[in-house]
Amino acid sequence: HGLSDLKVWPDGRVLAVGDEGDLLEARLVLDYAGHLTGLKDARLTQVIGEDGQPMASHGKVDSDAEGIAELANGDRLISLEEHDRILFYPHAGGPPRRAPMPDVTFAANAGMEALAAYPKAGADAYVVGIEATGETFICRLSAACTKYRTVELKDGYELSAMEVLSGGRTAYLLRAFDPLRGARVILRIVGADGQVEDQLELARPYTIDNFEGVAAAPSPGGGLRFYLISDDNFSKSQRTLLVAFDWRPG
């Protein structure tokens, strides 16, 4: 339940994080045609807090993980809402420590939803996106965060996740909900110049839910495959879905 972000690697490795301090590690299962059919070798563990104890033991406010990133050396970062902070998990193990975060005031439960490694700015660099405003920041473990670009938000959409792509592109996942139209999602691909290159919009009657996480990996047929994961909010009226869309530049 409650999976809020994911990352996928070319070898099929999957990493996802959830609202109650859950960490899911698994591998993709593809059929003979390269289509996504499920996951295997799944392992569910608890995220450890700064005191070395499971984060969930301190309650929902302290364990609301929303974004996850993994640096090239295996170090990980997790962004959290409500008790807003970014935690750095060294690859060698041990309790996490606080990592630099944007010096802004966050709206309640609408903070650092989006998180991704940003190797272009350095081996220890990452990019953070703010749900309510669409502002993004480039941060480094060794330096303070600096303002980057602002993602355009309108018609009730908020920034939910991001993925840094090759060639200077970035993919942004936007989501919206209202009782009349239900859940709506936009997957927007922006070029190095900040211009929108392509966009996928999902709404009823398509398969749709509260998609909060996005990841990208090479598609078996060429181009890129985007994976979207939904947060069911522990609700009987929502589902945990993992879906895939293949995309070719140009």
Average pLDDT over residues 178-197: 95
Provide the pLDDT for residue 108: 87
Q: What is the mean pLDDT of the chain?
A: 94
Strand ranges across the sheet with 22-30: 3-8, 13-18, 22-30, 36-46
Q: Rounded to whole angstroms, how far apart are CA atoms 66 and 80? A: 5
Provide the pLDDT for residue 185: 97
User: In degrees, to the nearest 5, what angle opens at C-alpha 179 toward C-alphas 178 and 185?
Assistant: 40
Residue 117: pLDDT band (50, 70, 90) is very high
Provide the pLDDT for residue 58: 81
Provide the pLDDT for residue 153: 96
Q: Rounded to whole angstroms, how far apart are CA atoms 128 and 126? A: 7
Q: Rounded to whole angstroms, how far apart are CA atoms 4 and 151? A: 19
Provide the pLDDT for residue 220: 86
pLDDT tens track for 95-114: 999 999 999 999 988 899 99
Provide the pLDDT for residue 221: 84
Q: For 135, what's the count of Cα atoms within 13 Å in the CB-facing half-sphere?
A: 17
Residue 62: pLDDT band (50, 70, 90) is confident
Residue with structure tokens 């965060």? Answer: 145
Average pLDDT over residues 170-184: 95
Residue 63: pLDDT band (50, 70, 90) is confident
Q: Rounded to whole angstroms, how far apart are CA atoms 139 and 142? A: 8
Q: Is 15 or 222 the better-scoring residue by pLDDT?
A: 15
Tell me how crowded residue 162 is: count the other CB atoms within 10 A of its CB.
Answer: 27
Residue 61: pLDDT band (50, 70, 90) is confident
Nearest to 128 by CA among 157, 99, 107: 99
C-alpha distances in Å from residue 9, one per residue of 25, 116, 160, 188, 219: 12, 13, 20, 20, 11
pLDDT tens track for 29-41: 999 999 999 999 9
Residue 168: pLDDT band (50, 70, 90) is very high
Phi, psi for residue 191 in degrees, rounded to 5: -80, 175
The burial of 131, by beta-carbon neighbours within 10 Å (0-12 exposed, 13-18 middle, 19 or more buried), is given as buried
Q: What is the four-CA torsion angle of 88, 40, 46, 230, rounded to 10 degrees?
A: 80
Provide the pLDDT for residue 28: 97
